[in-house]
Amino acid sequence: MNLVRTAMLLAFMTALFMLVGFMIGGRGGMMIAFLMAAGMNFFSYWNSDRMVLSAYRAQEIDERNAPEFYTIIRDLSHNAGLPMPKVYLYDSPQPNAFATGRNPENAAVAASTGLLSALSPEEVAGVMAHELAHVQNRDTLTMTLTATLAGAISMLGNFAFFFGGNRENNNNPLGFIGVLLAMIVAPLAAMMVQMAISRTREYSADRRGAEICGNPLWLASALGKIARGASHIPNADAERNPATAHMFIINPLTGAGMDNLFSTHPNTENRIAALEEMARSGMNVSTSPARAANPVRKSRSVPNTGLSRGGSQPPKGPWS
């Protein structure tokens, strides 16, 4: 049902984009809008992952400098039947994580240093399973396309504001009213559709992530900690790049997503309740992260990847 809903919302956003082009410039404007959307989506398809990782100054890690974190993701990927993604860490005291990439073969998952400091290995496994669920469901591509289309619709609205559209075009029956709709209503509608798709995909990723890691309560516990941390600890990079907020497991701007038309994330309490219901329904649970053959050892430092700014020591946490 979530997949059907997402497809319908994407189709609506595409139709809205074409309609905006028509309202501004008639049939010619609609064709220009279509070509513009195709070009922007093509660029985003190939470059969005590098742009996002660069925006957060994420550094790739491997089994040598973060063996336990890397092992958890490798085992989770095996559980999900996915290729091993590239693994990144970015320096932020706010606990959070995101996934990016155009397909499972070219995916990347990233976690903050704050996430590894604040969460237990079991909770980290739940979070990264959620991100791998996004990869498996191809949500990373879906959300990239919706963000691109929403941005393009807003750009067309700005174009209408500055240039007034083709008011005399006989193919544009709405005339100046159509231009006003393109300026005001269409960008707002595109934003609401983008956020609706994001909320839908989060619920699906929560459920699939719980299946991948084997214990819904790991992710439920992690969501509560991340939400509390995000509401009190700012993420400067996210504040500079608010268009990327929908990619994170919890909104990095406020940490207080609500199930309404203007939220990028579902209400955290609702997500936790759904995961707890999964556990009560009798889902088999694991007792070690990602059902790994080698249990995670709890040592006392985050991976030494040189991410800590100013040469200071990285925060303490259950990682070696």
Provide the residue ranges of all domains of the chain, joining segments of one domain with +: 2-311
Whether 313 shows a pLDDT value over 60: the answer reads no
User: What is the structure's pLDDT at 139?
Assistant: 85
User: What are the φ/ψ torsions at residue 263 (nearest 5 degrees)?
Assistant: -110, 140
pTM exceeds cut of 0.85: no
What is the predicted pLDDT for the residue at 34? 72
Per-residue pLDDT at 167: 46
Do residues 260 and 196 touch, judged by C-beta distance below 8 A?
A: no
Question: 23: closest CA among 168, 169, 172?
Answer: 172
Token pair recorded at residue 198: 């994001």
Q: What's at 309, amino acid-wise?
A: R
Is 130 labelled a binding residue?
yes
Check the annotation: does 134 bind a ligand: yes
Is residue 186 predicted with pLDDT exceeding 50? yes
Please report which confidence band the pLDDT of residue 115 belongs to, taking 50, 70 and 90 as the band edges: very high
At residue 126, does pLDDT exceed 50?
yes
Tell me the pairing of strands 59-61 and 97-101.
unpaired
pLDDT value at residue 10: 65
Model confidence band, residue 257 (pLDDT cutoffs 50, 70, 90): very low
pLDDT, average across residues 65-70: 94
Among residues of the chain, what percentage have pLDDT more than 90?
39
Query: What percentage of the chain reaches a pLDDT higher than 70?
Result: 60
The predicted structure's pLDDT at residue 260:
52
3-state SS class at 249: coil
Query: What three-state secondary structure class fits 31?
Result: helix
Beta bridge partners of 89: 59, 111
Which is catalytic among the residues 122, 123, 131, 239?
Answer: 131
- Residue 202 marked in a binding site: yes
Taking the CA atoms of the chain, what radius of gyration do you get in angstroms?
A: 21
131 included as an active-site residue: yes
Separation CA 179–CA 162 (nearest Å): 11
